[in-house]
Chains A and B, each alone.
Chain A
Amino acid sequence: MDLTLEQRQLLFTNLTRADVYNQMMYRRMMQGKLIGFYHPAEGGIAPGVGACTFLNQDDNLSPHHRGHGIAHMLCKGIDIKYYLAEHTGKVTGCCKGRSAFHFSFPDHKVYLMSGFIGYNFAPVVGWGWAAKRRAKAQVVMNCSGDGSYGQGRAHEALLMAQNWKLPIIFFCENNGMSIFSTATEMHPMPDIASLADGFGMPSKIVDGQNVFEVAEACLDAIDRARRGDGPTFIEAKTLRFKEHDIGTPDLSGWTERTEQELAQLQERDPVKVATDIVLAEQWLTQDEIEAIRESALKEVAQVEAFADESEIARPPVDELLRAVFAD
């Protein structure tokens, strides 16, 4: 599907925002201003932006754990300040400061996170099943990495989605690495998308460094799902510039990734790729690009201020016990 100029500009804006948010998270982790851990998204922010910028509020989304889903959620219209407050253990957090890094924005149909990679594959089947039953053209965007497709539950979800023609987009952000292990070692086929073939599910492989290419493929898949024609598998080939999570060594297998290797990857920085395109195609001017970044920096500063100024959540145990069950 061809994108409009306005859509392209929005994608570039969201990519810039995602980039600035991700850098902020990395910096705060290094400053000791985040609770738990952070899995940096440098190099891999374009897929989430392309997949989520054009979702509706009532579409379901399971964000990728990398970058803690921030790119995905902000593109869906979620105010990240409540997530940062959560990630700093504050009372204003989306989960009342109880969850460290878990997100939950049920009004935007981002229901849950779990620390188990591949957890998403069970609930997305239920969301898709409910969406089909409701028949209001709601779709499910299911984002996760190449590593998650090792889970049996991933295969179960593909099976059921295709059996029932559920409106699910299986969006695989393949950065070629799960912690230290490489996708080429952990999967027998070069493309994770080839899994879809076994279920007769249509699939597409896109350049995950090119946000516009990702968005075009996702819009096609979203349209297909909204029409009731069933699931699509999209594999975005992307990259990881940093270590798996801040503090672990940056290994490939059991040896350090080299500066040279990383420098080569960084040639394909998604912001650089997008900037080259928007300038060459004259979708945006250099001044406009700088203004977009300025605005993103201001936005993130406000988000940080909100989190920093909120109180630490330390409710008494009896109050927590009362929160275990719903009324």
Chain B
Amino acid sequence: MMTARTITFIDAIQEAISEEMRADDRVFVVGQDVRGAIFPHTAGLVEEFGPERIVDTPIAESGMYGVAFGAAQEGLRPICDFMFGGFTYVTFSEASVTTGQYHFLHGSQRSLPLVITAGVGTGQRLANDHAMSIHGTFAHHPGIKVAMPSTPYDAKGMFKAAIRDNNPVVIPWHMGIMMLKGEVPDLSEDYVVPLGLADVKRAGTDVTVLANSLQLQHALRVAEKLEPEISVEVIDPRSFVPFDLDTVLDSLSKTNRLVVVDEDWESGGFAATVSARVMEQGFDLLDAPVLRVTIPNMPVPGGYMEEYVAPNPERIEAAIRQVCA
């Protein structure tokens, strides 16, 4: 970074979208109440780009996603904003199956450059349909890249990379870190954070913790607290598809212990995939079984239950202590 500024996570997303829209006339946003900006990352966009490029649709997710899906086939580069991640399920056959198979099944003739984004995550006490994660579910469907940023710097760089990617990219953002502040380069500096690269957010030697978004913040806090007794290396996967397993294996060659924190259900999620791959490809590096900190297999409760059902610093600390015991 030449010169840096401090901005919020959500403003970093707004900067990424507006800069890419300025640079490329094919980029547009379609969603529900994106003009009025139900979340701040679309604030000010309609004033600059007009309603032809900041497009509100009726509450009709299939038609709304259809605008993005069809326009991408026609050579445009849409960003489809679902508001909340759970709402992607309303048109999941299009967003996952038909989207993921488009390039491959039709003979790899044409690409499908589109971005799906939405707010996700616990912390707002909104309950399952507004709080569920979507990265693991989308990652299950081949043909779709899936990534989720954890810092303002990554948010701006990864959203830019997603918009420039020639494939469908699902890039949710976690509502729990919406106002997180961090350094980003000066406006004059154009940068991207390539998809598919994990990032060591804190170096350590005793145990590796893989965590993302709000849970990355939790993991960093725990690592700080444990510093006198356990040296924790914290890795942010950043991308789930493609997933940078090499960075995790490199870390394990040093720490030999892994805790995967994933704000998703225990069954069939990203954490399970990582655990299986590490066992298959890094078994000899492990001194202890891989532990997962996830959401127990229940619909995410709202109210005051969320804070102890979802992964939290206490559960992460307990897992670290267990894997190091």
Give me the interface of A with B, judged by CB distance under 8 Å.
60, 93-96, 98-99, 102, 104, 106, 111-112, 114, 116, 119, 121-131, 133-134, 152-153, 156-157, 159-160, 163, 320, 323-327
- A124 — which chain B residues lie within 8 A by C-beta? 66, 70
For the complex, give the distance between the alpha carbons of A159 and B64 in Å: 11
Out of A121, A133, A323, A326, name the residue touching B52 (CB < 8 Å).
A133
- The reply to whether A99 and B66 form a contact with Cβ atoms under 8 Å apart is no
- The reply to whether A127 and B73 form a contact with Cβ atoms under 8 Å apart is yes
- A122 — which chain B residues lie within 8 A by C-beta? 62-63, 65-66, 69-70, 91, 94, 98
- The reply to whether A125 and B67 form a contact with Cβ atoms under 8 Å apart is yes
For the complex, give the distance between the alpha carbons of A52 and B131 in Å: 46
CB distance from A193 to the nearest CB of B (A): 20
For the complex, give the distance between the alpha carbons of A119 and B105 in Å: 15
- The reply to whether A126 and B67 form a contact with Cβ atoms under 8 Å apart is yes
Out of B105, B108, B112, name the residue touching A102 (CB < 8 Å).
B105
B145 within 8 A of A: yes
For the complex, give the distance between the alpha carbons of A134 and B76 in Å: 10
Closest 7 CB pairs of A and B: A126-B70, A122-B66, A326-B111, A156-B63, A104-B106, A130-B74, A95-B107
CB distance from A70 to the nearest CB of B (A): 17
- A130 — which chain B residues lie within 8 A by C-beta? 70-71, 74-76
Give me the interface of B with A, judged by CB distance under 8 Å.
52, 55, 57-58, 60, 62-63, 65-76, 78, 91, 93-94, 97-98, 101-112, 142-143, 145, 166-167
Among residues of A, the one whose C-beta sits closest to the C-beta of B68 is A126
Write 13 A-B pairs (CB below 8 A) sorted by A numbering. Answer: A99-B107, A112-B98, A122-B65, A123-B70, A123-B73, A126-B68, A153-B94, A160-B57, A160-B60, A160-B66, A324-B104, A325-B103, A326-B111
- The reply to whether A160 and B108 form a contact with Cβ atoms under 8 Å apart is no
For the complex, give the distance between the alpha carbons of A326 and B72 in Å: 13
- B74 — which chain A residues lie within 8 A by C-beta? 60, 126-127, 130-131, 134
For the complex, give the distance between the alpha carbons of A102 and B108 in Å: 13
- B142 — which chain A residues lie within 8 A by C-beta? 324
- The reply to whether A153 and B143 form a contact with Cβ atoms under 8 Å apart is no
With A119-B98, A122-B62 given, name 19 new contacts (CB 8 A). A60-B74, A94-B107, A95-B106, A106-B106, A111-B73, A114-B97, A114-B98, A127-B73, A129-B70, A134-B74, A153-B62, A153-B91, A159-B63, A160-B57, A160-B58, A160-B63, A325-B103, A325-B145, A326-B110
